[in-house]
Structure 1
Amino acid sequence: MEHSHRSGALKQANKGHKFGKHSSKRSRAEESKGRLALNSKHDKNGKHEASKLDRRNRAKQIRAQKRVAVLSAKRLIGGMSGASQLIALIPVCDGAQSSHVKDRLLGVAKEEDVDSADAVVSAFGAMSTCSSRTLKNRFTFIDVDRTNTLSVMEAVKMADTVVFVAACDSAPDEAGEIAITCAKAIGLPPMVSVVLGLERMPVKRRGEVKKAVHKYLQFHFPADERILPCDTTTDALALLRALATKKRDTVDWRSKRAYVVPDKVGFVHNEEMNGGADNGTLKLTGYIRGSKLDANRLVHIPGGGDFQIQKVVRAANPHTEFDLKKDNRTDVEMGDDDEDMLAVPDALKKDTLVSELEPDMMDQEQTFPTEEEELEAERTFEMPKVVKRVPKGTSAYQAAWIVEEENDSDETDAELTDMDDDMDDVEMNEDFYNPQANKKVHNNNISVAKSAPLTLSMLEGLANGDAGAGVSRVKVDSAEEFEDVEGEETQQQMFEKYDKGMDYEKEQEMYEDMVRERHLALAEQENDDLEFPDEIDTPVDQPAHIRFQKFRGLQSFKDSKWDPKESLPLDYSRIFQFDDFKRTHKRVRVEAQKNGIAPGQYVTVYISNVPAEFGRQLANPSEQHSKVPVVMTNLLRHEGKMTVVNFTIKRHSTNERVVKNKADLVYVTPLRTFTASTVFSQHTRGDKFKMERFLHASRPIVASVYAPVHFGHLPTVVFERIAGSNTLKLLALGSVSSVNADRVNLKKIVLSGAPYKINIRHATVRYMFFNTRDIAWFKSVELWTKGGLRGHIKETLGTHGHMKCSFNGAMRAEDTVCMSLYKRAYPKWNYCDGVRDADVIDEDISM
């Protein structure tokens, strides 16, 4: 028999030949079978393959185009005939005077080779502008009040360069820290650090002091390499040159939208009121900055809201005469009468001011009253003024107790009369007071039914000597005179008397004590929420299936499905939603780059239907608002529509106050400032997110609010309004996470019970429910223990809430049985543009 070798498991297996992604010569020869391919310069897609020289030339052209675009954007700001460079001066300590730096820079500009240095007063505050031929640049200095945080952020939004001013003899305080923090959070442009007071310091200590200030500023701005002094003329000239040559980096959100910082503001009141509204046309004159200005889009003005553009007109450039290279004769010769129309909104393409939808109240086939029926009901149930005829000298308090008699009694009055007749009569033990005679008449001869009120006929009977029914005869002057008393005036007099007896200082102390007790209670609840998250006690006096009827159980919080369109509240019919928000954002950005007026032009924007009070305030700023700068922002398409916006925020370390879920918070974004109710939820992955009852400082969270659409991950600063005052306290920093109304935020509650009798994997549990119907209602919900076991309810025992449960492991006596229930949480619809004016913000301390 011939022997044959069989390879075993240890036989060597050599690797195959790896020839890479290309095919071998043999394979190509077999595929071609002797045919020769044509020498084509086209790729697989049919495109022409450019040579190496052509590709190099194309790359060179692209670099040249980008270089020209960057230089053109730089020349738009700071040039002699273009928009001036906006410099925001922000002091970081109490001893730093930003006005001193501004005056020093303006003085240097006048002393050097400068054609003019003038001051231009803007809409909200004084902005000083100077033009330098030597530096070929124009500067506009904004003196910012560091104590007004909103003013600091508005100035940073519009500024091209921010100058932080420090002092050698003053340490940075809390206001300076908050100003720096908010400026960095909202989007900080290029910055310069300035120190004052070095000349007053001894020569030996100057280096040490400057090093200390530099260390403090470098903590906040590590990229800033040096600090410039500004005590002498030489220092000011060096600072001015540094501002002119400073590299200007663009802020992303600012380069996507057009904005105008007005040099002139005018308001024309409409003589004919539209629909009874007192409004007019606002005229803002200034340079277009940022991106292209589209007349079809809405504009937003802080403090006023969203408005429509009526037209955009080219204005006479007052700074063209300083340009030595160009002869812009059109801008110089142009007057107010020779307006050059640049853009007029298209009636079919312009955005409307409709920010929310009107819900269809008949969608669920319910019948609601019309407006006419509501007005008729109001007229029917309107309480007329009660005029009572009483004797002269009767006090308001006595008149309030006199009941008018009616001839026609309805069924209700008859029933009350029958009830009064059935009651036993009693004698009055009080004295009857006669105001005219100014003496007391004893009631030995007067008897009235116990529940019968003193009526006008009784008074007339007493006056005429006739006792009438239920009243015995008494001698009273028959010449008694009567007078009319209005019930409303009587009530007002009673209120005034009550107010006179109040101690307002004591009331204020009691209110402060009440607020302090509420905050202590909230702090205790926050600590309980951290120690025992989501645990609540089952009510004893109310069935659990009624108290928690909106809650449901989930087998798995991660994998169980929850329909985002299920059982939506009525407010969801008022918002706008997007099928694909990312695609819409991309389309809107491309549209904004194509259409509109190019930046750098000096224009006058006419804004229609502006409230008269707000327009006059802009045209003639008051002392109160003189330190708040104004800027007009051109919104993108859909950015005026209401929807659900989700912000990712993290609590700031300076705020230690307890903030509960659904609190009214103030949000400051680059586009607008608004107040809205907030729903906190966990910042995790998945399609469902657990609601947080408090804003904890240990982790970032997502805040969901009803707000207008925000495109892009815009920076956000959140403030808390202190109850009983107009003070805003910095609360959190973050950015826009998403615009998604389908985000499912679930409120979780945990009902707990204690094992009563244990038999290995079976146990009798009590104190979770207190009746048999609740056990049957929640029988299908899964149970879990803090020891890691899973189980379910098998049956009820007795009628007092005891139930038999089975688990997947051995039960321990010290373990706790829990049940998780969920319901979807929605924010409240109380959006307010700006900071809501309210003296007191109520805080509900109930869970």
Structure 2
Amino acid sequence: MVVESLAEALNIAAGECPENGIWKIRADRFKTSIQFRTVPYGGFYATLDACKVADYVVFGLSSTVEVDAWGDTLLRTLQAQGLPDVVSVVSVDSSIDAKSRPGILRSLLSFIQYFVPTQTRIFDLQVPSERLNALRALSEGKPEDVRWKEGRSWLLGESTEWEDGILRVTGVVRGSSLSGNRLIHIPDFGDYQISKIVSAPILRQKHNISGMDVEPVVLAEPDPSTADSLISSNNPDDLANDQTWPTEEEMNGVGDNAQAGIPDAVEGTTPKAVRRIPKGMSEYQAAWILDDDEDDDEEDKEKREDEEDRVNAMRQDEDEEMQDLPMNDAQTELDQREKVHFQDLDVEQEEEQLDNWRRRRREEDDDLSFPDEIDTPQDTPARTRFQRYRGMRSFRTSPWDPFENLPRDYARIFQFEDFRRTERGVRRRAEQELGVVEPGVRVTIHLKDVPQEATVVALTLFSLLQHEHKVSTLNFTVQRNTEYEGSVRSKDPLVLCYGPRRLAVNPIYSQHTRGGGKGTNNVHKFERYLRHTSTYVATIYGPVTYGKQSCVLLRETPNQQAPQLVAMGSFLNPDTTRIIAKRIVLTGHPFKVHKKTATVRYMFFNPDDVHYFKPIQLHTKHGRTGHIQESLGTHGYFKAHFDGPINQMDTVCLPLYKRVFPKWSQLWTQTAGASSAAASDMVPSDAMEE
């Protein structure tokens, strides 16, 4: 082991060094002590958490074995997450002769500089003097600060105890001062309140015993009036705006509506239908209310629900078969899951998954060649199929009310009037707060209502700032990993890592306007796929965070500790008024052309659809704009007039827009990650519907 080789340079026996845990040694030569957090090879998420709380990261490279795919993914993820100072070493290997080692060291230095450009040398642990130089770099250097940890405190648990829902974690407070009023985040377990913070005895390094024998002193306790609560989202009252039953007077026709009276239609004309507008709704919003509420379901929604039902059914079948299988001591639970997966699929299911995978590949290629273009269905009227869509004269300037027709999830989230001002106020109050524990103090933190499963080895705790437990609409600028070749579609299940958190999310992607511009209406185009070409904005529902936090998007695999790095980026803002508009384009063929006038077919298939979409402006792929003049015949033909001559080789387009929203995110846990990976393994993510 690398740590054992470093300890031998200080004449310390390495027999007590754990493979996965904490080991503290005294370096008298450098008049300091070093605490190592050892992580076994293959522990992906444990390595991410360890690097978040470390001052230095020691990368142990092999002089004979090449870095595999897991190691490459880990290095890229750590690079995107944000690394502290790095010390690279080459493990001891006596099989390499002295003449070959300089060339190997130069090759490994070139490799590690790709991920950590600040590296200037690699320490060869085969040479005793190099071991001392590596220890000197760890002992005498000043570690640089990671930006996302500024103003935060964290703790690496040296020991944990659980009793009656109270988790006691002992360690040294690092970073900033720790307040008892703030919440504590435990990765993979969630946010918890502090019961109290008491002092812990300092350990003597030589004998590993307590340096003082005194009663622990309470250093900080939460103030009930100012302590943060665990309420992360609002609980909307569905009855507050519920439609009440009509009274007997209204049913008998003597209510206010009856007194107002409805004028009779003029004789010989068709009576005009009266549209009932809900109270408080403007004419602009009422213009999009449909007369028939039974046609609200769309084809894509039905396809999505069918796909989800199919995935849940297959997942349930797999769980039932796993329960029937006997446990084998020689196999892990992961091996059992993979074995069930390969035994469960038959020829028909294999063919179905292959067809889904090929169809999604074709859909992605078609979307790249013909962006947003879809075919108008012949068996369903277009006004019914696309009833949730609207036309816009200008994508950047046309008005769009950000508070109209919001989903129920928007009633649960929190909105900040001025997020940057709130952040400045929170950080200022944190610096001025009294009754806090300063960094460098060894304490025992008592956490309330923590499950017993949280008593893991070397537990990491992160203190949250005020309001960081509140859920809002979060936007992240992300760029796809150049090494990932799979298909990434909006609302695909992924794992989002930002700050100390890991969430199971289904993000939606939209265009990122350069220079921070968002137009006069804050409308941004929805993107069906996350591509390699540009930077996109990923939107989710999740707990807010402060600062320029880096983020990583991972895709789970059957091997839970070997996810795939999909994209990386940083936190943008929690803008709840950002409108993400999905665009579809109906296309038609100019059947007959006479200068600026053309007869267009194949866009609609009945005259009622022509009249319904008549107010929307048309455009062609060659840059002409126009409008529908009149319907022709009974097969959906219509006459259109444009601002210039067109030809029959052109294509007439009619764009429609609909606002889309993300799905509610959940805390990522080991169990949830395993089930998600199993589901994505049964049904390829490339085949899942939007």
* TM-score normalised according to structure 2 size: 0.80
Is 1:359 the equivalent of 2:236?
Answer: yes
Q: For 1:534-683, list aligned pairs within 5 A.
A: 534-595=372-433, 596-611=436-451, 613-615=452-454, 618=455, 621=456, 629-683=458-512
Structure 1 residues 603, 120: CA separation in 2 closer, same or farther (over 3 Å shift)? farther
Name the structure 2 match of 1:702: 537
Aligned position for 1:300? 185
Q: Give 1:108's aligned residue.
A: 9
Residue by residue over 1:512-533, the C-alpha shift from the partner in whole angstroms, topping out at 9 and shown as x without a partner, is 4433332222111111111000
Equivalent residues of 2:503, 2:665 under 8 A apart? no
Helix, strand or coil: the match of 1:354?
Answer: coil
Equivalent in the alignment of 2:270: none
SS in 2 for 1:658: coil
Sort the Cα spacing of 1:321 and 1:131 in 2 relative to 1 into closer, same or farther, 3 A. closer
Using the alignment, how far apart are the partners of 1:834 and 1:189 within structure 2?
26
| Distance 1:232-1:205 versus aligned 2 partners, 3 A rule | closer
Alignment-mate amino acid for residue 217 of structure 2:
D
Q: Partners in 2 of 1:727 and 1:131 — Cα distance?
A: 35
Is the 2:472–2:541 Cα contact (8 Å) retained in structure 1?
Answer: yes
Measure the CA separation in 2 of the matches of 1:154 and 1:171.
25
For residues 723 and 790 of structure 1, do their structure 2 counterparts lie closer, same or farther at Cα, with a shift above 3 Å needed?
Answer: farther
What residue number does 2:40 align with?
145
Amino acid in structure 1 at the alignment position of 2:502: T
Are positions 1:288 and 2:288 aligned together? Answer: no
Aligned-pair CA distance for 1:232: 4.2
CA displacement at 1:117 relative to structure 2: 8.6
2:614 corresponds in structure 1 to 779
Report the Cα offset of residue 705 of structure 1: 0.5
Structure 2 vs 1, CA of residues 512 and 365 (structure 1 numbering), >3 Å: closer, same or farther?
same
Shift, 1:659, TM fit: 1.6
Report if aligned partners of 1:544, 1:769 keep a CA contact under 8 Å in 2.
yes
CA distance in 1, matches of 2:389, 2:631: 21
Hey, what does 1:471 align to over in structure 2?
Answer: none
CA distance in 2: counterparts of 1:524 and 1:630, whole angstroms: 46
Amino acid at match of 2:442: Y
Counterparts of 1:512-531 in structure 2, within 5 Å, are 512-531=350-369
In the alignment, the residues of structure 1 paired with residue 104 and residue 609 of structure 2 have an alpha-carbon distance, to the nearest angstrom, of 72
Higher relative contact order (CA 8 A, sep 6+): 2
C-alpha contact 1:117 1:129 (8 A) present in aligned 2 = no
Q: Does 1:176 align with 2:71?
A: yes
Look up the SS of the partner of 1:655 in the other structure. Answer: coil
What is the SS of the residue equivalent to 1:104? helix
Cα distance in 2, alignment partners of residues 774 and 727 from structure 1: 51
Counterpart residue type for residue 163 of structure 2: V
1:636 shift after superposition = 0.4
Provide, for residues 374-423 of structure 1, a one-character-per-residue CA deviation record: whole Å limited to 9, x for no partner.
xxxxxxxxxxxxxxxxxxxxxxxxxxxxxxxxxxxxxxxxxxxxxxxxxx
Contact 2:44 2:561 in 1 (8 A): no
Cα displacement (A) at 1:205: 2.1
Is 1:507 the counterpart of 2:345? The answer is: yes
SS of residue matched to 2:89: strand
CA contact (8 A) 1:753 1:768 kept: yes
The DSSP-based 3-state class of the residue aligned with 1:775 is helix
1:757-806 C-alpha deviation (Å, 9 max, x unpaired): 11110011111111111111111000000011000011111121011100
Distance in 2, matches of 1:504 and 1:661, equals 28
Among residues 504, 510, 526, which one is paired with 1:691 in the alignment? 526
Distance 2:92 2:561 in 1: 35
CA–CA distance in 2 between the matches of 1:738 and 1:503? 40
Deviations 1:455-483 (A, max 9, x none): xxxxxxxxxxxxxxxxxxxxxxxxxxxxx
**Inter-partner Cα distance in structure 2 for 1:845 and 1:227:** 45
SS in 1 for 2:638: strand
Change in CA separation of 1:541 and 1:832 when aligned onto 2, cut-off 3 Å: farther
Please say if residues 119 and 127 of structure 1, whose CA atoms lie closer than 8 Å, have aligned partners that are also in contact: no
Q: Give aligned pairs, total.
A: 583
Match of 1:339 in 2: 216
The answer to whether the Cα contact below 8 Å between 2:415 and 2:472 also exists between their aligned partners in 1 is yes
The SS at the match of 1:333 is coil
Q: Does structure 2 retain, via aligned residues, the 8 Å contact 1:725–1:840?
A: no
CA RMSD of aligned residues (A): 2.7
- Structure 1 residue runs of 5 or longer lacking an equivalent are 1-99, 270-279, 324-330, 369-494
CA distance in 2, matches of 1:717, 1:545: 41
Please give the alpha-carbon distance, in whole angstroms, between the structure 1 residues aligned to 2:212 and 2:101.
54
Other-structure match for 1:381: none
Provide the C-alpha distance between the structure 1 equivalents of 2:619 and 2:41, rounded to a whole number of angstroms.
Answer: 54
Bigger Cα displacement from structure 2, 817-826 vs 146-155: 146-155
CA distance in 2, matches of 1:150, 1:351: 28
Whether 2:137 is the aligned partner of 1:242: answer yes
2:6 partner amino acid: L
Distance, in Å, in 2 between the alignment partners of 1:733 and 1:781 is 39
Matched residue SS, 1:218? helix
Q: How far did residue 110 of structure 1 move?
A: 3.4
For 2:661, the equivalent position in structure 1 comes to 826
Cα drift, residue 314 of structure 1: 1.1
Identity across aligned pairs (percent)?
Answer: 35
Please name the residue that 2:293 is paired with.
Answer: none
**Is 2:594 the counterpart of 1:759?**
yes
Say if 2:42 is the partner of 1:207. Answer: no
Mean alpha-carbon deviation: is it higher for 170-179 or for 566-575? 170-179
How far apart, in 2, do the equivalents of 1:170 and 1:120 lie?
A: 24
Aligned partner letter, 2:419: F
Give CA-to-partner distance per residue, 1:702-758, whole Å, 9 cap, x none.
110011111112111110124797852111111111111111100000000001111
Confirm or deny: 8 A CA contact 1:164 1:194 kept in the other structure.
yes
Q: Counterpart amino acid of 2:407? A: P
- Checking the alignment, whether the CA contact within 8 Å between 1:723 and 1:840 is kept in structure 2 is no
Give the deviation of 1:845 after TM superposition: 4.8
8 Å contact from structure 1 (residues 521, 845) kept in 2: no
Going from structure 1 to structure 2, the CA distance change for 1:204 and 1:133 (only over 3 Å counts) comes to closer
SS at match of 1:203: coil
Relative to 1, partners in 2 of residues 1:130 and 1:699: Cα closer, same or farther, differing over 3 Å?
same
TM-score (norm 1): 0.66
Q: Work out whether 1:317 is the aligned partner of 2:206.
A: no
CA distance in 1, matches of 2:96, 2:558: 44
What's the CA shift for 1:298? 0.6
Deviations 1:313-341 (A, max 9, x none): 11111148999xxxxxxx94343xx2211
C-alpha distance 230-513 of structure 1, shift in aligned 2 (>3 A): farther
Structure 2 CA distance, aligned partners of 1:707 and 1:573?
14
Inter-partner Cα distance in structure 1 for 2:530 and 2:523? 19
**Alpha-carbon distance change, 193 to 525 in structure 1, aligned in 2, over 3 angstroms:** same
